[in-house]
Chains A and B, each alone.
Chain A
């Protein structure tokens, strides 16, 4: 016990019991505690470990120090559940003195965490798509890293129509929740300008596993293209079924809001043929930061990074940039520095809109490769375009972001 102080022992016991000793062990002033709130169990258990990697890499680049203080990085399992996420985020703030939260992965859970950030007055960066965080539920403490669904819809539709001007009959398959509805709305808006006819639009419940019914309905409408607005396992299962029923590769399938690698890796190359993918990140992105990141990631872990580690890496870097700009690690200073922050970072030119806390940045559109065109098993797609049209002001639901 000689090397461990009494304080360390208490900390070990406290951590071991997981119940968190109260304020007694709050972090010292020389430390900056940060929380990575990731999913290690539950529906998104596959992304927890890689999200952890991304954030750690960004912190390691700074030697786990910022402005002379040590960075204390802890992770907690949100179980992909709003209740558990709330409880664990609060525990991290109360017992570990966390002031900076990155995550979670799931949009629904993120809303709960955003509430915690507002209540506890801690900095929060989130990588998912829900519009509420930079929209109806906006407040000074949460920031959104992913592109606006409007940006996504515009990039996807514009680019696809440029490549396939004759594909005027679209069938939509939409996950039945607020995010799905907004993307659907934007696609239809942008589609109007291209003269697209939406021959069908079906909504499926989140967590649907039996897509055969939706696929036969889609086939019945004889579309030129099927566009899916869903995420994760729903998207993978849907894409697989669309292939099983012979729609792809005859007609193209668009995965409008995809994680990219994380979803494509679950599909076989035959299934991926003629799939077009919109994503917030793909590892062939051609920016200096991305190239460096992909190289290090590949060297460390043997394969290219997907969206998850890139997002946690990217968000952590934005947070660190804000700390640099603020020359402080106090939350109010960092927030003010983050608002209007403009950097050339992971995906290119990135700017944080001070009015909505939305990060304005490019969105990627890719086309999957045929099996024989793949240079290695992870060579899923080529980026064919990026787009960064921001959400028009008339759609912005964040009217007043409030005060600190």
Chain B
């Protein structure tokens, strides 16, 4: 195996892995704090990408779009939580699933109605176009940017949860909701914030992905599956684990693509099933 090829594949794995980690963290926060299966996570990812595209069309600035698009998704998240999820806290997972699945249909079809079903391209901002010669291999600038940006966002999320007071409240909410509400904290506001945060992370993942994969109404479908895999691997609510799990999945994909390309999609689920069987709480989970 040629060394430059291996290095490229590892870089690919790391870059896509960071994106997967971002998706995973968002979903992990939602499943951890609210304990609901959020089947709308993929559609929200797609929405982030489309909002980025539209903001760029309107104001021509990628960086502003990268800021506004996830906020837009977060805003939608707040509305969803207040209107749809709050009534379902006590309902079973089946109804939560039905709701979030219905929402994913609404969001996806909404994207088709507003933006048309035809796929589109979004070029990276001019300074991030082209590639760098890393000596060993040529690598696109934008992908390096995404890897770094995603890593920073993930780090930021982790710092928020580990080092800030509100983050501690959120982690406590993952651990023991009853205790948290007994301590006088507004549990409803916690849930809304957690859900919105998860949506923002999905939205930013989508926005970052748009220049790499282009835009397509169904772009969230495979991301949803991957997000679930990352969460299952990491263990519910375990955020450091989500980072590692995301990178593991990204690397697994790119290395398998080297030797057995036809299986590169299926391998993700095989890994997930294997881990869940052996360690149901995930690689790092404690529950």
Asked if A and B are interacting partners, one says yes
CB distance from B131 to the nearest CB of A (A): 5
B222 within 8 A of A: yes
B212 at the interface (CB under 8 A from A): yes
**B9/A266 in contact, CB under 8 A:** no
The answer to whether B222 touches A209, judged by C-beta atoms less than 8 angstroms apart, is: yes
Which residue of the partner chain A has the closest CB to B212? A244
**A214 contacts B by Cβ under 8 Å:** yes
Q: Which residues does chain B contribute within 8 Å of A266, judged by CB atoms?
A: 118-121, 214
Contacts of A241 in B (CB 8 A): 212
Q: Is A216's CB within 8 Å of the partner chain B?
A: yes
In the complex formed, the residue of A with least CB distance to B222 is A209
State whether B254 touches A213 (Cβ < 8 A).
yes
Mark the stretch among A89-97, A197-205, A289-297 that contacts chain B.
A197-205
Fill in one digit per residue for A198-224: 1 if any B CB lies within 8 Å of its CB, else 0: 000011110111101110110110000
Contact assessment for B12 and A212 in the assembled complex, using a CB-CB cutoff below 8 Å = yes
Bound CA–CA A210/B217 (angstroms)? 17
Bound complex: CA A203 to CA B261 (Å): 7
For the complex, is B137 an interface residue (Cβ under 8 Å from A)?
yes
Known: A212-B16, A217-B5, A220-B4. A205 touches B265 (CB 8 A): yes
Interface contact A217-B258, CB-CB below 8 Å: yes
> B residues within 8 A CB of A271?
121, 123
A residues less than 8 Å from B119 (CB atoms): 46, 233, 236, 266
Would you call B112 an interface residue if the criterion is a C-beta within 8 Å of the partner chain's C-beta atoms?
Answer: yes
Please give, as numbers and ranges, the residues of chain A lying within 8 Å of B8 by CB-CB distance.
Answer: 216, 219-220
A97 to chain B, nearest CB (A): 31
Which residues of chain B have C-beta atoms less than 8 A from A212's C-beta?
12, 15-16, 143, 254
Contacts of A245 in B (CB 8 A): 131, 138-140
Contact residues, B245-270 vs A (CB, 8 A): 253-254, 257-258, 261-262, 264-265
- Flag if A213 contacts B257 (CB, 8 Å): yes
Bound together, the chains give a CA A140 to CA B257 distance in angstroms of 42
When C-beta atoms are compared, the residue in chain A nearest to B131 turns out to be A246
* Residues 257-271 of A at the B interface (beta carbon under 8 Å): 262, 265-268, 270-271
Tell me, yes or no, whether B96 is within 8 Å of chain A by CB: no
A residues less than 8 Å from B9 (CB atoms): 213, 216-217
B188 at the binding interface (Cβ < 8 Å): no
B218: CB under 8 A from chain A? yes
Give the chain B neighbours of A213 by CB distance below 8 A.
Answer: 9, 12, 253-254, 257-258, 261, 264
Whether, in the assembled complex, A361 has its beta carbon less than 8 Å from a beta carbon of chain B, the answer is: no
B216 at the interface (CB under 8 A from A): yes
Q: Closest Cβ of chain B: how far from A308's Cβ, in Å?
A: 11
**Is B86's CB within 8 Å of the partner chain A?**
no
CA distance A213 to B117 in the complex (A): 27
Question: What is the bound-complex CA distance between A190 and B116, given in angstroms?
Answer: 40
- Assuming the contacts A205-B265, A212-B143, A246-B130, asked whether A220 and B118 have C-beta atoms less than 8 A apart, the reply is no
Q: When chains A and B are docked, how far (Å) is the Cα of A176 from the Cα of B121?
A: 25
A377 to B: closest C-beta gap in Å: 13
A249 to chain B, nearest CB (A): 12
Interface residues of A in 39-59 (CB under 8 A from B): 43, 45-46
Check B213 against A237 for contact (C-beta < 8 Å): yes
Contacts A202-B261, A205-B264, A220-B8 given; does A244 touch B118 at CB 8 Å? no
List the B side residues contacting A317 at CB < 8 Å.
Answer: none
Q: Is A240 an interface residue (CB 8 A)?
A: yes
Pairwise interchain contact B117-A210, C-beta atoms closer than 8 A: no
CB-defined interface of B80-98 with A at 8 Å, one 1/0 digit per residue? 0000000000000000000
Residue contact A219 to B138, C-beta cutoff 8 Å = yes
Interface residue? B189 (CB, 8 A): no
Q: Which of B109-162 contact A (CB under 8 A)?
A: 112, 116-121, 123, 130-131, 137-140, 142-143
B2 at the interface (CB under 8 A from A): yes
Q: What is the distance, in angstroms, from A344's C-beta to the closest C-beta of chain B?
A: 32
Partner of B5, one of A43, A220, A240: A220
Q: How far is the CB of B266 from chain A (nearest CB, A)?
A: 8
Does A240 contact B214, Cβ atoms closer than 8 Å? yes
Nearest CB of chain B from residue A43's CB, rounded to whole Å: 7
* Contact residues in B for A246 (Cβ distance below 8 Å): 130-131, 138, 140
For residue A208, which residues in chain B have a CB less than 8 angstroms away from its CB? 264-265
Q: Which chain A residues numbered 58 to 117 have a C-beta less than 8 Å away from chain B?
A: none
Q: Is the CB of A43 within 8 A of B218?
A: yes
Instruction: Give which listed residue, B116, B143, B261, contacts A204 with CB less than 8 A.
Output: B261
Cα A270 to Cα B124 with chains together (Å): 12
Within the complex, the shortest CB–CB distance from A188 to chain B, in Å, comes to 19
Residues of A contacting B139 with CB < 8 Å? Answer: 245
**With contacts A208-B264, A267-B121 known, what are 15 further pairs, Cβ within 8 A?**
A46-B116, A46-B119, A202-B261, A204-B262, A205-B261, A216-B5, A217-B257, A217-B258, A220-B4, A233-B216, A236-B214, A240-B121, A241-B212, A245-B139, A266-B118
- Can you list 24 A-B contacts (CB < 8 A)? A46-B116, A202-B261, A204-B262, A205-B265, A207-B222, A208-B264, A210-B257, A210-B264, A212-B16, A212-B143, A213-B254, A213-B261, A216-B8, A219-B137, A220-B5, A233-B216, A240-B121, A240-B212, A245-B131, A245-B138, A246-B130, A246-B138, A266-B121, A270-B123
Pairs A-B, 4 closest by C-beta atoms:
A213-B257, A216-B8, A46-B117, A220-B5
